[in-house]
Amino acid sequence: MNEERIGYTEDPVNGDDIWRARTTRLIRAWKFEKSVEKLDILNKEYGNNQYPGIYILFETTSNKVYIGEAGSLISRLRAHTNTPDTKITKWNRLMIINDGRSSSHSDLNDAIIRREIEHYLNELFKLNKYKVVSQSSKQHLNAAQKIMVSYFIDELNFFMLRTNIINKLPAPRDQRELTLSEMKSILQKRGYQIENLSAYEVELNGKKSYIRSGSSKPKGWQITFRDQFKKSLETEDGFLIIPRGGCIVLPLHKIKQCIANNTDAFDKNTIDVFIQYQNDKIILSYKNNTIDISEFKL
């Protein structure tokens, strides 16, 4: 996603103290302090028509958010303003998101589409360390609904990053992090002997091994070696298990080969390597060195 493909415009806050922004395609957004008067202003802007969409209530003092959907945004938000939900009684700011069209023309008039987007945003805000107090559920979509939801999510990702509301996006489906139980099941099916399994370490076939899914960075998924983890890499003892996009069991000696010609690497406190999932292979890189580790994916 980029601004050349999806444009963005933001209007300065005017006398009504309402922030307005939009993308050049689907998204229209308004943000303002909790206020019945501002809802009345927005309702006039809507021509007193019903507009469906998504809303986000922010309790800025506690980092809480409540994300909801409505066929009539103004009516729902008046209710939230006059009688706050018990989960977020002290909310003080709100954001409204729709496609700028009334219910008779909007793609968001489909409640299933709204609920799927609501669910996606609930998960997205959790990923970005908000205290999400609303509840949602994944919907069963037909083919047309899937296409429309994908359009909205693509733009919402761009919009939320562009406005600094979030700073990270979910990993692509083929790079999803496995749970410990999922990882354990894969290892056992491949005949590995597992003992002393914890969140970050395990004995695999009698060898101390390390579990790291990596942190998302521009260069790929960053894995940092420090302390005992770094010592094990230096002695080439054990495995690195990467439970992302499947399960990769990588002998530490393969990683050391990638950094071997950097003679001062082990003199530093940490060593960072990056995992990149490309179309047909998985690459591990250290500085300018790379190795293909696809064969180690189970």
249-281 tens-digit pLDDT: 999 999 999 998 777 888 899 999 999 998 889
Q: Tens digit of pLDDT for each residue in 25-36?
A: 999 999 999 999
CA distance linking residue 51 with residue 34, whole number of Å: 19
| Domain endpoint, select from 104, 135, 162 | 162
Q: Are residues 248 and 124 in the same domain?
A: no
Buried b (16+ CB within 10 A) or exposed e, 209-220: bbbbbbeeeeeb
Other C-beta atoms lying within 10 Å of the C-beta of residue 114: 24
What is Dmax (Cα atoms) for the chain? 71
Give the residues across from 282 on adjacent strands: 277
Closest among 281, 260, 280, 33 to 41, alpha carbons compared: 33
Domain count, the chain: 2
Other C-beta atoms lying within 10 Å of the C-beta of residue 229: 20
Q: Are residues 210 and 283 in the same domain?
A: yes
Strands (E), 62-151: 64-70, 93-98, 131-132
Q: Are residues 210 and 185 in the same domain?
A: yes
Q: Which domain holds residue 97?
A: 8-162
Q: Tokens 């000696």: give the residue.
A: 253
Q: Tokens 């950097």: give the residue.
A: 262
Q: Are residues 146 and 187 in the same domain?
A: no
Q: What is the pLDDT of residue 83?
A: 94
| Single pTM value for the model | 0.67
Quick one: pLDDT band at residue 206, thresholds 50, 70, 90?
A: very high
What φ, ψ does residue 77 adopt, rounded to 5°? -75, -30
